Amino acid sequence: MNNPGTLRAALAASLLALGAWHAGNAAAARPIIAGTLTNGPPMVAYADDGKTLQGVIVDLAAAMSKHLPAPIEFKPEAFPNLFPAMKSHQIDVAFTIMNDTAQREKLVDFVDFFNLGTKLLVRKGNPDKVSDLHSLCGKAVSTVQGSTQIQLAQQADAWCVAHGKPAVTNMQYAQPSDARMQVQIGRVAAFLGNSPVMVYLAKTADGGKLFDVAGPEYQPVPLGIAVPKDQPQLRDALQKALQATIDDGSYLKVLSKYGVQGGAVKSATVNAGAKI
């Protein structure tokens, strides 16, 4: 029979290794586990095999890993689960399509790696005649649970009610794929989503036959890698790694590969969203 003290020591050692990044050990041998969405092309999505993640974020993580003591590896998570997963140490960071906002900066730090906004995704030909947020009165829209786009839907609804027009119905979904499916089947007039993803879908979904984008771009904010507040060493390591990819040219090469170089940042900043 194994010695209980030996078992407890082994368990403690295993837990210590698992929580190395949580403890701020930048020299940890284990990978940095990054939670991410899996259906936001061209930023991050599964390849045709349904198993391999690909996209801007995946390639950028690979480039950054060359400048880190441990590689970045991805763990699929629904957007609403990202903060709870960080809090419970199931993931070390969230490296996905997450806007850096002042409100979120109260909970985490952000290493900002891309600039984007929000676009309205509509059915091909725009049968519901969506032109901007004010055109959504009396219509239903879809958003992702926990996303900043919910605020836009609320603003549209408030404007409509204040002007004596029918309210906006906001249908929230855990996965972006479910939210945009509502547009495809005609259940909602528009999906409020991140601009590079919306533009990409309008160009590529079923050969460009399913969707259009409508209206101006809203909410110009940076995307950031979310890092728990108690992990400054990990945050700083990621910032330095991102800056190294900018300096050696691999950052712009990744963005250019997917045609999103217009969202490039000039330097690796922390918590830039609060300044917008």
Instruction: Report which DSSP code applies to 167.
Output: P
Angle made by CA atoms 32, 33, 36, in degrees to the nearest 5: 130
Q: Does the pLDDT at position 26 exceed 60?
A: no
- Quote the CA–CA distance of 60 and 81 in Å, as a whole number: 23
pLDDT digits (tens, 9 = 90+) for 164-219: 999 999 999 999 999 999 999 999 999 999 898 999 899 999 999 999 999 999 98
Q: Does the pLDDT at position 1 exceed 80?
A: no
- Give residue 132's pLDDT: 97
pLDDT digits (tens, 9 = 90+) for 51-62: 999 999 999 999
- Give residue 276's pLDDT: 55
Q: DSSP of 23-89, one letter per residue?
A: TT-TT-SSPEEEEE-SEETTTEEE-TTSS-EESHHHHHHHHHHTTSSS-EEEEE--GGGHHHHHHTT
Q: Which residue has the higher pLDDT, 274 or 73?
A: 73
- Give residue 114's pLDDT: 96
pLDDT digits (tens, 9 = 90+) for 219-256: 888 999 999 999 999 999 999 999 999 999 999 999 99
Q: Does the pLDDT at position 128 exceed 80?
A: yes
Report the Cα 108 to chain-centroid distance in Å: 14
Residue 201 corresponds to which tokens in the numbers above? Answer: 């879908």
- Give residue 215's pLDDT: 93
pLDDT mean over 125-135:
97
Residue 92 corresponds to which tokens in the numbers above? Answer: 């070390």
Q: Band of the pLDDT at 28, cuts 50, 70, 90?
A: low
- Give residue 246's pLDDT: 98
pLDDT digits (tens, 9 = 90+) for 42-89: 999 999 999 999 999 999 999 999 999 999 999 999 999 999 999 999
Return the residue matching tokens 């730090």: 109
Domains of the chain: 4-116+222-263 (3.40.190.10), 117-220 (3.40.190.10)
**Most confident stretch, 98-102, 140-144, 172-176:** 140-144
Question: What pTM value is reported for the model?
Answer: 0.76
